[in-house]
Every structure is written in structure tokens, then in C-alpha cells.
Structure 1
Amino acid sequence: MKALVVSQHDVAPRVETLPIPDVSVNKIRLKIEACGLNFADLLMVKGTYQDTPALPFTLGMEVAGTIDAVGEGVTHLHPGQRVAVFGGQGGLADYGVFDADRAVVLPDGMSAVDAAAFQVAYGTSHVALSHRARLQPGETLLVLGAAGGVGLTAVEIGKLMGARVVACARGTDKLAVAQHAGADHLIDATTQDIRAEMKALGGADVVYDPVGGDQFTAAFRSCRPEARILTIGFASGDVPQIKANHLLVKNLTVHGLYWGGYLGFRPEVVTDSLAQLFAWYSDGRLKPHVSHALPLDRANEGLDLLRTRKSTGKVVITI
């Protein structure tokens, strides 16, 4: 089979030919149809992600496809079922072996591309906004990086949860994508002052930040008393430092969110969230935005789209 393999950190992964893996106890083997790319994939290539596998490894965190075989101990799944899996690695290949308890059976009519774009982005935003920040109807939600993989889903879910959503992104084209997803107000990070714009809107009750850097600082200063700030990631490459006395003055709360971490200590948070998200998808209330769907031999091009911020929503590799 073909697989995109990272053999050395900070070197572009290469498509290699590997044996098709054998299925083992409590595992399923998936004939992969699509794999969603994530910013974490870039960090894995660099070797700086918190869950970077040992070298060499096959890249690709979230996949969708058809079960090809099941291992001993797997009774709730069977060959022929279409599922999505967050495996953390191994997704950019023709076949992959994954933990059976991480597989989610796809709703009828859900395409492999939609499924591969779904779990990490929507899961991150839903757990962040619902479980961590406890976003309430009528509150003002400021979303930074609002046209990116997770940011766009935060706009969509925030609107579903009844918030007034302010989308911040770079340029009119990206802001148009966020507006289409339901944003009530738009801030162009390239030309407008985030703090001034938010002050005119009365400030933020919740900040969703996958960017960090100067945008975090501006959003932090835009918070209303008792606001909650969600640190999702640092796409800017700048991890902000927070002064505790500033938290004290406004009674602010900062929440860290690593979605995959819940699988290790409270997996029910993820499974309950995904059940709600797939129900919303089946009801037509969520629609993944995929700006690029590319074949496996163009996977590095897809990674470059993330690196240079030229994509909106998700980039998906079709297998």
C-alpha cells in the first residue's frame, strides 16, 4: 500500500510503499477513503507536537473509510461499515489499523470527505464552547482565525448555541467564508483594530483563540468582566504570556483545550460531544467547509496550504 511517511523531522514526508498492516485484538482495519489535515500535522513533521509518534510514522490524524477487517474482541463493528476514526496518526495511507473504540459509524449520506473533515475541527470547537467555556445564548463570542479549520466550526457552533458571533480573520475573502457560516460581525485582522472594534460592540464574553500572538493580546484586552478565554492553539507561532494580575482585575478565566487529551482521561466528553455533532449534521445544521480536496500524491501541497494559511475550513486528502 501507499503511505505518507515522516522519516526525519523538519523534512517533507514522502509517499512510500509499505505492507498492508495486519489487524490485531480490539482493532479494526480500515480501507481509507479520505483523511483530514490539521495544523497538528505540521507540528508532527517538525517534531514539536505533544503527541508526536516515534520515527518513522505515517502522518494523518483523522480518517474516514470502510472497515476491511475486525480483530478479536471487536463485536460492535463489522466489515463493510463506513466509519470515521480519530487515530492520531496513520491516516494518510491506503489502509490503517485503529482502535475499534475510536470508530464512529457514519450517518447515512455522509461523504468520506465530510467525515474526514469533521471530528477534530467540530469536536474541538464544541468541547471548547460547551464543556469548557459554557457559552450561553445571547453572549458575545469572539472567534480569532475564524476562517481556519477549527475557527470556522467555532463560528458555526457558536451561532447554533445562540451566541452573537464576531469573526476575526485576515482579508475580505476569508471574512466572507466566516459570514456565510453565520458570523454576525466581522473584523479584518489586517486592517482593523480588534480591541477598538470589540469595544464598540460591548466587549467579548468568550474568546476562542487558535492563533495566539498579538491577536490574543488584543482579544484579552477586549474582554468583559467574567469573560472566558479559550486557548486552542498558536498558529501565529507566538505563545502569549498572561499576567495573572490582569485576570484578577476583570475576574477572567483562561481555559486550555486539547481535544485529543480527553480520550486519555475522560473519553465520554468526546463521545457525548460527537454524538451531538453527528446528530446536528444529520439534521442539516452543520456542513463542513472543505476548501481543497487533493489526492495522496499532493498531500505535501495540502500541508503547504495550511502552513501558508491559504486554505479556508479544512483541507482533505482523498485516498
Structure 2
Amino acid sequence: MRAWQLEEIGGTPQLNDVEPPRPGPTEVQIDIAACGLNFADLLTIKGQYQEKPPLPLTLGMEFAGVVRAVGSELTGLSVGARVGTFSGGGGLAEVACVPADRCVPLPDAMSFPDAAAFQIAYGTSHVALRHRANLQPGETVLVLGAAGGVGLTAVEIAHRMGARVIACARGVEKLDIARRAGADEVIDSETPDLKAALKAMGGVDVVYDAVGDPLFSAALRACRPGARVLVIGFAAGQVPQIPANYLLVKNITVHGLYWGGYLAFDPKVLTESMTELFDWYAEGKLRPHISHTLPLEKADVGLELLRSRKSTGKVVITP
């Protein structure tokens, strides 16, 4: 089979011909139909992601397809089942093996590309806004990087939860995409005095930040008393340094959110979240925005789209 593999940290992924993996006793073998790309794939290539799997590594953290074979100790999943999985790797290939407990059955109406674009982005935003920030109807949410892979889902979910959504992104095209996803107001990330502009809009109760500094610092200073700040990632490359005295004076709470980390210490949070999200999808309330769909041999082009910020929503690879 073909697989995009990273053989050394900082190297260039290569499309190799390799033997298909065989499932262990508690694993399933999946014919991959679609794989969603994530900013974390770029961090993995550079050796900057939280988890560092052994090399060589087949890239691709979330994907969807059809069960081809099951391990000897499994009874829950059967050959032919349509599943999605967050495996942490293996998706940029034609076949993968993953633990069965990482697989979720797909709603009948969900396409494979939608499934590959769904889990990490929607899961991250839903757990962040509902479980961590306890977002309430009528509150104001500021989403930084609002046209990106997770940012756009935060706009959708916050809107679905009854919040007033301010979307912050760069350029008219990206702001228009965020508005169509449910943003009530939009603001360009290159606004000269972002803090003052946000305060003029009434301030914010919840900040959803997948970008980092300098936008983080401006958003923090536009927070209302009692606000909650969600630290999702640092796509801009600058990790913000948070002044603790400012948190104290305005009673602000900062929540870190690493969605995949819940698999190790509280997987029930993810299970319950994904159940609600799949229900919303089945009801037509959520639809992933996929800006680019590319064949497997062009996965490197897809990664460059993420790196150069030329994509919106998700990039999906279809083996």
C-alpha cells in the first residue's frame, strides 16, 4: 500500500510503498476513505507536538473508512462497518490498524470526507465551550482564527449554544466564511487596536484562542470581569505569557484544552461530546466546511495549504 511517512524529525514526508499493517487482538484494520489534516500534523513533522510516536511514522491523525478485518478478541465491530477514528497517526495511507476503542460508528447520513473533517475540530470546540467554559446562552464569545480548522467549528457551536459570536480572522474572504457559519459580528485580526475595538463591541465573556500572541494579549485585555479564556493552540507560533495579576483583578479563569488528552484520563467526556455532535449532524445543525479535497499523492500539497494558511475549515485527503 501507499503511505506518507516521516522518517526523521524535521524531514520531508515521503510517499512510500509499504506492507499493510495487520490488526492485533483488540484492533481493527480499516480501508481508509478519507483523512482530515490538522495543524498538529505540522507540529509532529517538526517534533513540536505533545506526543512523539516512534519513527518512521505514518502521518494523519483522524480518518474514516470501512472495517476490513477485526482482531481475534473483538466482538463489537464487524467487517464492513463504517467508522471514524482519532488514532493519532496512520491516516495518510490506504490501510490502517487502530485500537477498536478509538473507533466510532458513523451516522448513516455522514459521508467519509465529513467524518474525516469532523472529530478533532468539532470535538475540540464542543468540549472547550461546553465542558471547560460552561458557555451560557446570551454570553459573548470571541473566536480567534475563526476561519481555521477548529475556529470555524467554534463559531458554529457557540452560535448553536445561543451565544453572541464575534469572529476574528484575516481578510474579507475569511470573515465572510465565519459570518456564514453563524458569527454575529466580525473583526479583522489586523485591526490596529484590537483591544479597543473589542471593548467598543462590549467586551467578551469567553475567548476561544487557537492562535496565540499577539491576538491573545489583546483579547485578554478586552475580557469582562469573570471571563473564561480557552487556550486551544498557538498557530501564530508565539506562546503567550499570561500576567497573573490581570487574572486576579478581573476574576478571569484560563482553561487549557488538549482534546486528545481526555482519552487517557477521562474518555467519557469525549464519548458524550461526540454523541451530542453526531446527533446535531444528523439533525442538519452542523456541516463541516472543507475548503480542499485532494488525492493521497497530493497530501504534501494539503499540508502546505495549512502551513501557508491558504485553507479555510478543513483539508481532506481521499486515498
- TM-score (normalizing by structure 1): 0.99
Distance 1:211 1:4 in 2: 27
Distance 1:267 1:46 in 2: 28
Correspondence 1:118 to 2:118: yes
Aligned-pair CA distance for 1:75 = 1.1
Correspondence 1:307 to 2:307: yes
Distance 1:201 1:9 in 2: 44
**Partner deviation per Cα, 1:39-89 (whole Å, 9 max, x = no partner):** 000000001111121111100000000000010221111000110000000
Query: Paired residue for 2:272?
Result: 272
**Partner deviation per Cα, 1:283-319 (whole Å, 9 max, x = no partner):** 0000000000111111111011111111000001111
Distance 1:284 1:165 in 2: 20
Distance 1:77 1:270 in 2: 19
Q: How many residues align?
A: 319
4+ residue stretches of structure 1 with deviation over 6 A? none
Distance 1:153 1:194 in 2: 22
Aligned-pair CA distance for 1:20 = 1.0
Retained in 2: the 8 A contact 1:204–1:223? yes
Query: Paired residue for 1:84?
Result: 84
Query: Paired residue for 2:145?
Result: 145
Q: Point out where structure 2 has 5 or more consecutive residues left out of the alignment.
A: none
Q: Secondary structure at the match of 2:214?
A: helix
Retained in 2: the 8 A contact 1:27–1:97? yes
Aligned-pair CA distance for 1:192 = 4.9
Query: Paired residue for 1:281?
Result: 281
Query: Paired residue for 1:48?
Result: 48
Q: Point out where structure 1 has 5 or more consecutive residues left out of the alignment.
A: none
Query: Paired residue for 1:158?
Result: 158
Distance 1:170 1:24 in 2: 46
Matches within 5 A, 1:1-319: 1-319=1-319
Retained in 2: the 8 A contact 1:34–1:316? yes
Q: Secondary structure at the match of 1:3?
A: strand
1:152 partner letter: L
Distance 1:181 1:287 in 2: 9
Aligned-pair CA distance for 1:241 = 0.3
Q: Secondary structure at the match of 2:309?
A: coil
Aligned-pair CA distance for 1:201 = 1.7
1:75 partner letter: T
